[in-house]
């Protein structure tokens, strides 16, 4: 168990490191550097071109003359020790501020979608496997394929249209008007929950359909295993033996899906958030990439990816807790 | 005094598949006597497993018990008979669930996969005990340890908390036996319990089973296609071919004077150390496709002694002696049947 945990932690740290390098590369990708950008901005804002020795001085101040690895090291240590992500050239604000404003919403939305996906996919997957080829199985399979095939931005657009048409208001955003800029409070939180379910369903749709198929296939594999027959020959009720044996076995691949569901959810979140105008990190990240607002983009990429890696790590731990074969390995 | 524990009459179990109906068990008559061992033998696919699963109503979908009776005397030995028909019970109902694991229990062929790797051996044994008795968890655990000790597992008090995947095949099969015995069953069904084990372990498990059968005074239904095992463990033998019992007698009669050509062929096909290789004689032909059974006697396409009537007449049971019966036209006076069946 400890060896397993240690190894997984090792993987996690390594992966996060690779991600940080990639994020750093993202910052370096556009032509020019921070100072060139700064100067261009000043010029476009009507300022005068700076003398070139002043430019050199700025570079020295920002450490842009250092070798790459030193720059990387400075960048990452500022993030780790001070939580400084740099400056947003587009929003003219501290990037860290922008990120802390948006990231919790993304987290809430992804986590909510994730719970939705599990809560729906688990019982339906079990039902579809146990009642294979029943009417219910066919209905869920059909709905599932629609959920898989229709991209969630289209679902979001259809939903927008319907809400305009029948409720006379667009169900967009995550808060009602009166709460949008209010400080956090219990009523604001309740208001958030009231709005959250819509994007949660829209984002979770595709993942749910996929996970239903996974659960159904896993469980079908397990239902005819000899240990199920043993359990039945003891006289357990069908429901009890189903839950204790085959479902428990089928849970393994289900749990490992935490890892790959999260990135999918975050990807879907970007698009749905743009369509529904949600105050999450998706739209900001998208804009940042378009307008080469590299410090913001890198910060988001680094944090979102790290969250995903942590999700995978959590699923690994959960697997070890669930499955003695992994734990005792 | 009638000593019958289970009387199976004309049992039929059919599988309703998309390709058609498979008549896996097609009219089986069997009597299981208290405290005796009956061995069910036959080639792979002849319906042994399906037949014995029917005794507990755990036949898999799409299989169904479609006809026949399984008359089970659950009354105490020598006491008042209390006969119930298992064939009529709902496979998911409480009635049969109370019998499973308590009065009739079963051990399976695959010790590697018959126990779930997710739970400890103890957990899976205790589950059975708690389901059928009023013991507390601690008492059930003590009983489980006692049982594991009894089936020859060393350091049973430690092993009770071990996961099955950390045990050898033989140890797992011993644990399965401990589990099956935990509620002191009247009947233990063993479906090829030693097939997946190596020869030494096989012999040990067989010894253990016949010892336990005596000390628990239970009835044993032992399924195998290994006639060597039959000779070692059985009191009675029933030979099965394509869903029917073609010959049935005590073990000496079956080995010394088999009557059915299929039984004779089976006996010729087993290698004995003493005999020469050229005497070894595998049964000719293949087991027929389950969807296209031959008409008449199911064995006639492979039978060296088949004659014209075998192609059209289905043999019925002929009682050669009070404890030796056979389904074969060689021993049946079928002249009357031809006459009556032609009239119809
Ligand atoms: N789930 C199923 N669906 C359809 N047919 C089945 C099913 N299970 C068993 N059968 C049929 O029942 C017949 C008997 O199978 P069974 O498992 O009882 O054989 P067996 O005598 O135990 O063989 P073996 O020695 O290989 O265990 C087979 O011919 C098979 O075609
Ligand atoms: Mg079998």
Residue A208 confidence class, pLDDT cut points 50, 70, 90: confident
Q: Which of B7-16, B222-231, B249-258 has the weakest average pLDDT?
A: B222-231
Residue B274 confidence class, pLDDT cut points 50, 70, 90: very low
Residue B199 confidence class, pLDDT cut points 50, 70, 90: confident
Q: How far apart are the first and last CA of chain B?
A: 42
Structure tokens at A34: 């921070």
Quick check: B244 and B51 in contact, CB under 8 A? no
Q: What is the pLDDT of residue A253?
A: 79
Task: Between A112 and A60, name the one with better pLDDT.
Answer: A112
Residues of B within an 8 Å Cβ radius of A: 56, 58, 60, 92, 96-102, 105-106, 108-110, 113-119, 124, 127-128, 131-132, 163, 165-166, 176, 179
Domain CATH for B188: 3.40.50.300
Residue A217 confidence class, pLDDT cut points 50, 70, 90: very high
Residue in A205, A326, A189 with CA at minimum distance from that of residue A261? A205
Quick check: A196 and A276 in contact, CB under 8 A? no
Q: What is the pLDDT of residue B23?
A: 92
Q: Report the C-alpha gap between B318 and B337 in whole angstroms.
A: 13
Which H or E element spans position B39?
strand B37-41
Read off the pLDDT of residues B77-101 as tens digits, 9 standing for 90 and up: 778 889 999 999 999 999 999 999 9
Residue in A159, A184, A33, A232 with CA at minimum distance from that of residue B100? A232
Structure tokens at B39: 């061995």
DSSP class of residue A168? S
Q: How far apart are the first and last CA of chain A?
A: 7
In sequence order, what DSSP letters do the residues of B145-213 get, joined into one string? HHHHHHTT-TTHHHHTTS-GGGS-HHHHHHHHHHHHHTT--SEEEEESTTTTS-HHHHHHHHHHHHHHH
Record: contact A224-B92, CB cut-off 8 A: no
Read off the pLDDT of residues A118-131 as tens digits, 9 standing for 90 and up: 899 999 999 999 99
Q: What residues contact residue A186 under an 8 Å CB cut-off, 6+ apart?
A: none
The Cα of A315 is separated from the nearest Cα of chain B by a number of Å equal to 17
Task: Between A259 and A57, name the one with better pLDDT.
Answer: A57
Beta-bridged to residue B11, according to DSSP, are B28
Q: Domain containing B61: what range?
A: 4-241
**Spans of all domains in chain A:** 112-282
Q: Which numbered atom of ligand 1 lies nearest the CA of B53?
A: 18
Closest Cβ opposite residue B163 in set A234, A249, A328: A328
pLDDT at A297 over 60: yes
Quick check: B174 and B151 in contact, CB under 8 A? yes
pLDDT at B271 over 70: no
Record: contact B117-A328, CB cut-off 8 A: no
Residue B342 confidence class, pLDDT cut points 50, 70, 90: low
Residue in B244, B259, B342 with CA at minimum distance from that of residue B299? B244
Q: What is the pLDDT of residue A68?
A: 81
The Cα of A138 is separated from the nearest Cα of chain B by a number of Å equal to 18
B100 to A226, B47, B94, B95, B249: CA distances (angstroms): 16, 21, 10, 9, 28
Beta-bridged to residue B239, according to DSSP, are B41, B247
pLDDT at B282 over 80: no
A64 to A18, A71, A72, A79, A288: CA distances (angstroms): 22, 7, 10, 17, 21
Residues of A within an 8 Å Cβ radius of B: 224-227, 229-238, 244-245, 248-249, 322-325, 328
CA A138 to ligand 2 center in whole angstroms? 33
Q: Where are the beta strands (DSSP E) in A154-258?
A: none
Closest Cβ opposite residue A227 in set B56, B114, B163: B114
Read off the pLDDT of residues B142-189 as tens digits, 9 standing for 90 and up: 999 999 999 999 999 999 999 999 999 999 999 999 999 999 999 999
Q: What is the pLDDT of residue A256?
A: 79
Give the chain A residue whose CA is nearest to the CA of B116.
A227
Q: What is the pLDDT of residue B103?
A: 96
Q: Report the C-alpha gap between B10 and B54 in whole angstroms.
A: 12
Q: Where are the beta strands (DSSP E) in A59-166?
A: 87-88, 93-94
Closest Cβ opposite residue B56 in set A233, A324, A328: A233
Q: Report the C-alpha gap between B299 and B161 in whole angstroms.
A: 50
B204 occurs within a structural domain: yes
Mean pLDDT value across residues B235-240: 96
The fraction of chain A above a pLDDT of 70, given in percent, is 96
ipTM value for the complex: 0.90
Binding site membership of B48 for ligand 1 (Cβ less than 6 Å): yes
The most confident of the ranges A28-42, B236-250, B294-308 is B236-250
CA B11 to ligand 1 center in whole angstroms? 15
Beta-bridged to residue B41, according to DSSP, are B224, B239
Q: What is the pLDDT of residue B252?
A: 95
Read off the pLDDT of residues A66-87 as tens digits, 9 standing for 90 and up: 788 888 888 888 888 888 888 7
Q: Report the C-alpha gap between A93 and A96 in whole angstroms.
A: 9
Mean pLDDT value across residues B212-217: 90
Q: Report the C-alpha gap between A172 and A273 in whole angstroms.
A: 9
Mean pLDDT value across residues A95-101: 87
Does the global pTM surpass 0.90?
Answer: no
Chain A interface, best mutation among B95, B112, B118, by max A CB count within 10 A: B118
Binding site membership of B225 for ligand 1 (Cβ less than 6 Å): yes
Mean pLDDT value across residues B305-327: 92
Alpha helices in chain B (DSSP H): 48-54, 94-99, 111-114, 121-132, 137-150, 156-159, 169-181, 199-216, 227-233, 251-256, 261-268, 335-343
Q: Domain A112-282: which topology?
A: MetI-like fold (1.10.3720)
Binding site membership of B24 for ligand 1 (Cβ less than 6 Å): yes
User: What total of structural domains would you count in chain B?
Assistant: 1
CA B96 to ligand 1 center in whole angstroms? 22
pLDDT at B291 over 80: no
Q: What residues contact residue A178 under an 8 Å CB cut-off, 6+ apart?
A: none
Q: What residues contact residue A197 under an 8 Å CB cut-off, 6+ apart?
A: A112
Mean pLDDT value across residues A106-133: 90
* Collapsed DSSP state (helix, strand, coil) of residue B247: strand
Instruction: Give A245's contacts in chain B (Cβ within 8 Å).
Output: 116, 118
Read off the pLDDT of residues A151-207 as tens digits, 9 standing for 90 and up: 878 888 888 888 888 876 666 777 877 777 778 888 888 888 888 888 888 888 878
Q: What is the pLDDT of residue A260?
A: 67
Q: What residues contact residue A86 under an 8 Å CB cut-off, 6+ apart?
A: A75, A95, A295, A296, A298, A299
pLDDT at A40 over 60: yes
Q: What is the pLDDT of residue A276?
A: 83
Q: What residues contact residue A153 under an 8 Å CB cut-off, 6+ apart?
A: A271, A272, A274, A275
Quick check: B130 and B122 in contact, CB under 8 A? no
Mean pLDDT value across residues A234-259: 89
Record: contact B166-A225, CB cut-off 8 A: no
Q: What is the pLDDT of residue B68?
A: 96
pLDDT at A257 over 90: no
Q: What is the pLDDT of residue B273?
A: 47
The fraction of chain A above a pLDDT of 90, given in percent, is 21
Q: What is the pLDDT of residue A234?
A: 96
CA A223 to ligand 2 center in whole angstroms? 18
CA B168 to ligand 2 center in whole angstroms? 22
Q: What's the whole-number average pLDDT of chain A?
A: 84
């Amino acid at each position: 168990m400890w060896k397993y945990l240690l190894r997984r932690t090792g993987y996690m740290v390594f992966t996060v490191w690779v991600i940080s390098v990639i994020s750093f590369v993202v910052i370096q990708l556009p032509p020019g550097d921070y100072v060139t950008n700064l100067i261009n901005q000043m010029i476009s804002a009507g300022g005068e071109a700076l003398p070139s020795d002043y430019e050199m001085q700025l570079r020295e101040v920002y450490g842009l003359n250092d070798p790459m690895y030193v720059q990387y090291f400075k960048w990452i240590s500022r993030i780790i020790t001070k939580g400084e992500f740099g400056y947003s050239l587009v929003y003219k604000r501290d990037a860290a501020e922008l990120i802390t404003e948006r990231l919790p919403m993304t987290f809430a939305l992804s986590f909510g979608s994730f719970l939705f996906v599990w809560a729906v996919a688990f019982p339906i997957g079990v039902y579809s496997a146990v009642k294979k080829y029943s009417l219910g199985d066919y209905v869920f399979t059909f709905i599932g394929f629609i959920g898989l095939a229709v991209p969630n931005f289209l679902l979001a657009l259809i939903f927008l249209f319907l809400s305009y048409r029948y409720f006379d208001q667009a169900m967009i955003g995550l808060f009602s008007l009166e709460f949008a800029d209010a400080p956090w409070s219990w009523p604001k939180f309740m208001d958030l929950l009231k709005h959250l379910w819509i994007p949660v369903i829209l984002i979770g749709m595709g993942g749910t359909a996929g996970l239903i198929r996974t659960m159904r296939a896993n469980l079908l594999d397990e239902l005819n295993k000899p240990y199920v027959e043993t359990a039945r020959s003891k006289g357990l009720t069908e429901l009890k033996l189903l839950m204790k044996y085959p479902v428990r076995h089928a849970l393994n691949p289900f749990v490992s899906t935490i890892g790959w569901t999260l990135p999918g959810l975050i990807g879907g979140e970007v698009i749905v958030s743009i369509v529904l105008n949600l105050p999450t990190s998706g739209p900001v990240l998208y804009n940042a990439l378009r307008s080469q607002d590299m410090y913001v983009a890198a910060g988001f990429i680094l944090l979102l990816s790290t969250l995903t890696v942590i999700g995978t790590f959590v699923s690994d731990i959960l697997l070890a807790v669930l499955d003695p074969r992994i734990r005792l390995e | 005094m009638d000593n019958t524990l289970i009387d199976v009459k004309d049992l039929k179990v059919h599988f309703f598949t998309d390709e058609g109906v498979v008549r896996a068990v097609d009219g089986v008559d069997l009597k299981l006597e208290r405290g005796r061992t009956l061995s069910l033998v036959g080639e792979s696919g002849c319906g042994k497993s399906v037949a014995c699963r029917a005794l507990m109503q755990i036949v898999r979908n799409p299989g169904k018990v479609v006809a026949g009776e399984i008359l089970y005397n659950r009354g105490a030995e020598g006491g008042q008979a209390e006969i119930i028909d298992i064939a009529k019970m709902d496979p998911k109902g409480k009635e049969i669930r109370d019998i499973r694991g308590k009065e009739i229990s079963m051990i399976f062929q695959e010790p590697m996969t018959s126990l779930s790797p997710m739970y400890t051996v103890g957990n899976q044994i205790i589950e059975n005990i708690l389901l059928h008795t009023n013991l507390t968890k601690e008492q059930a655990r003590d009983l489980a340890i006692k049982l594991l000790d009894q089936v020859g597992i060393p350091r049973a008090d430690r092993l009770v908390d071990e996961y099955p995947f950390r045990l050898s095949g033989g140890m797992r099969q011993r644990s399965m036996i401990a589990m099956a015995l935990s509620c002191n069953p009247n009947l233990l069904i063993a479906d090829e319990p030693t097939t997946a084990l190596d020869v030494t372990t096989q012999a040990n498990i067989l010894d253990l089973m016949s010892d336990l059968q005596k000390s628990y005074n239970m009835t044993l239904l032992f399924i195998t296609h290994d006639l060597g095992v039959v000779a070692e463990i059985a009191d009675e033998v029933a030979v099965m071919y394509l869903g029917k019992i073609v010959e049935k007698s005590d073990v000496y009669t079956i080995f010394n004077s088999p009557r059915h050509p299929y039984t004779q062929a089976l006996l010729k096909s087993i290698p004995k150390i003493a005999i020469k290789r050229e005497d070894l004689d595998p049964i000719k032909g293949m087991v027929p496709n389950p969807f296209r059974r031959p008409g008449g006697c199911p064995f006639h396409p492979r039978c060296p002694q088949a004659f014209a009537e075998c192609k059209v007449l289905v043999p019925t049971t002929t009682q050669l002696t009070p404890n030796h019966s056979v389904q074969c036209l060689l021993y049946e006076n079928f002249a009357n049947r031809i006459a009556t069946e032609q009239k119809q």
